[in-house]
């Protein structure tokens, strides 16, 4: 039998801490219930024994931040912890309705914020904070999970901070962010949260979960886990999706195609266009469905009296939707491009470790021979310069440099060395 923490791969220390906190949270609820019984059923107020804020002695806290590299399982950890909080046994058994509905995303007291655009706005956050303050309908906890809390706008961060500073007694905030660096999460929010650091899970642990949970053949799972560099979701996609494998192969063909300036620009165009195509494939379907749904809701095509006025209001809503969709498309493109850059960085990292004769396994076993040839030609120094060019490109895009310009500069650097 596997409980809710089973898919949190290679994070033993974090799991121990979360289990302890879940048990403490269950004890808080039991103490509250006992106090209610003692006080008699007429007492409607929260009993005094239920802590309103942070109580370090119980091991339970109202605000948490899960940090770690992409794919390390930040949101998996947050969701599993939410399930353990809603579990009727207080353990995250994986069997009870509380666990099931939380893991399935349908628990009434668990809200998950997944930003679709590049940032989470203040309106969204205010609405969320308001709802989070209500009494949990299931009698346990109100849990709010904020994925990519590093994408909070400043105003949204302030709205969240207010709620974290004075948390309602039964509300728990679970934030996910790459790190606790001030660029990712404001210092004031950080100071109110307990941090659960996750690490990049080892390839062997990732392969194990692909075999056990997804029924993937062991040799494919091992290859995919290594190629995905510890990113669980990416490993699963590589193992299952032939299109994802094809895109990866195209990216890894870049180093041998860089034979001159023209080739470098061609490679840059190809990389950008591949990312655009991948992003478009991932968002087009939901875009169309959303637009159709909104148009139906707004009564598009109506001819009755008042239609003109309704359509004027509708135009505003459609514009709003288009703005949201555009922002989501931009994000999908950047994510696709970033995956390609991570693959490419893995290739030059392989060349570097080979040039140094470091006793570590290559990231990309299927291009290891090519990386070996590169290592001979470039030596450690040239390999490192190329690796740095890829990382600099990622950083530039993160800092809002136009992707095409950043990628062209990178390709030229990779060619010239």
- Min dist CB 308 to Zn ion, Å, is 54
14 φ, ψ (degrees, to nearest 5):
-60, -40
Whole-angstrom CA distances from 31 to 58, 99, 417 are 11, 22, 65
Report the interface residues with Zn ion, using CB under 5 A. 87, 93, 96, 99
- Min dist CB 98 to Zn ion, Å, is 5
Residues 237, 244: contact at Cβ < 8 Å? yes
- Min dist CB 90 to Zn ion, Å, is 8
- The C-alpha atoms of residue 152 and residue 118 are separated, in whole angstroms, by 9
- Min dist CB 251 to Zn ion, Å, is 42
Closer CB to Zn ion, residue 15 or residue 354? 15
Closest CA to 251 of 342, 333, 335: 342
- The C-alpha atoms of residue 93 and residue 172 are separated, in whole angstroms, by 20
Closer CB to Zn ion, residue 99 or residue 336? 99
Tell me what percent of the chain is helix, strand and coil, each rounded to the nearest 5: 65, 5, 30
- The C-alpha atoms of residue 240 and residue 363 are separated, in whole angstroms, by 19
- Min dist CB 142 to Zn ion, Å, is 18
Closer CB to Zn ion, residue 140 or residue 236? 140
- Min dist CB 102 to Zn ion, Å, is 9
Closer CB to Zn ion, residue 1 or residue 399? 1
Closer CB to Zn ion, residue 87 or residue 225? 87
146 φ, ψ (degrees, to nearest 5):
-115, 105
Closer CB to Zn ion, residue 53 or residue 97? 97
- The C-alpha atoms of residue 9 and residue 55 are separated, in whole angstroms, by 29
């Amino acid at each position: 039998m596997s409980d809710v923490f089973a898919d949190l791969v290679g994070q033993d220390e974090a799991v121990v801490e979360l289990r302890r906190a879940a048990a403490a949270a269950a004890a808080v609820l039991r103490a509250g219930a006992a106090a209610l019984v003692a006080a008699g059923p007429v007492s409607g107020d929260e009993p005094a024994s239920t802590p309103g804020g942070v109580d370090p002695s119980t091991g339970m806290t109202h605000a948490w931040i899960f940090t770690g590299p992409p794919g390390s399982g930040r949101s998996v950890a947050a969701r599993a912890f939410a399930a353990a909080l809603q579990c009727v046994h207080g353990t995250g058994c994986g069997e009870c309705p509380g666990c099931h509905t939380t893991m399935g995303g349908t628990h009434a007291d668990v809200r998950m914020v997944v930003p679709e655009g590049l940032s989470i706005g203040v309106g969204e956050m205010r609405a969320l904070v308001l709802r989070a303050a209500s009494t949990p309908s299931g009698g346990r906890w109100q849990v709010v999970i904020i994925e990519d809390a590093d994408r909070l706008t400043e105003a949204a961060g302030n709205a969240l901070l207010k709620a974290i500073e004075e948390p309602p007694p039964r509300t728990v905030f679970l934030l996910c962010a790459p790190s606790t660096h001030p660029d990712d999460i404001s210092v004031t929010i950080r100071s109110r949260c307990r941090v659960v650091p996750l690490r990049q899970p080892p390839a062997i642990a990732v392969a194990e979960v692909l075999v056990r949970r997804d029924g993937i053949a062991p040799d494919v799972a091992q290859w995919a886990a290594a190629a995905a560099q510890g990113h669980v979701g990416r490993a699963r996609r590589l193992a299952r999706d032939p299109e994802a494998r094809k895109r990866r192969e195209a990216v890894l063909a870049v180093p041998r195609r860089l034979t001159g300036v023209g080739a470098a620009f061609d490679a840059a165009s190809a990389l950008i266009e591949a990312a655009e195509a991948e992003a478009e494939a991932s968002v087009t379907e939901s875009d169309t469905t959303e637009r159709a749904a909104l148009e139906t809701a707004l009564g598009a095509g109506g001819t009755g009296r008042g239609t003109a006025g309704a359509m004027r209001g509708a135009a505003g809503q459609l514009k709003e939707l288009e703005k949201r969709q555009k922002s989501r498309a931009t994000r999908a493109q950047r994510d696709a491009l970033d995956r390609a850059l991570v693959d490419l960085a893995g290739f030059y990292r392989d060349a570097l470790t080979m040039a140094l004769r470091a006793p570590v396994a290559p990231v990309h076993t299927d291009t290891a021979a090519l990386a070996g040839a590169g290592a001979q030609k470039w030596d450690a120094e040239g390999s490192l310069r190329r690796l740095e060019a890829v990382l600099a490109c990622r950083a530039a895009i993160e800092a809002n440099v136009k992707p095409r310009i950043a990628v062209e500069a990178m390709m030229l650097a990779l060619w010239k060395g």
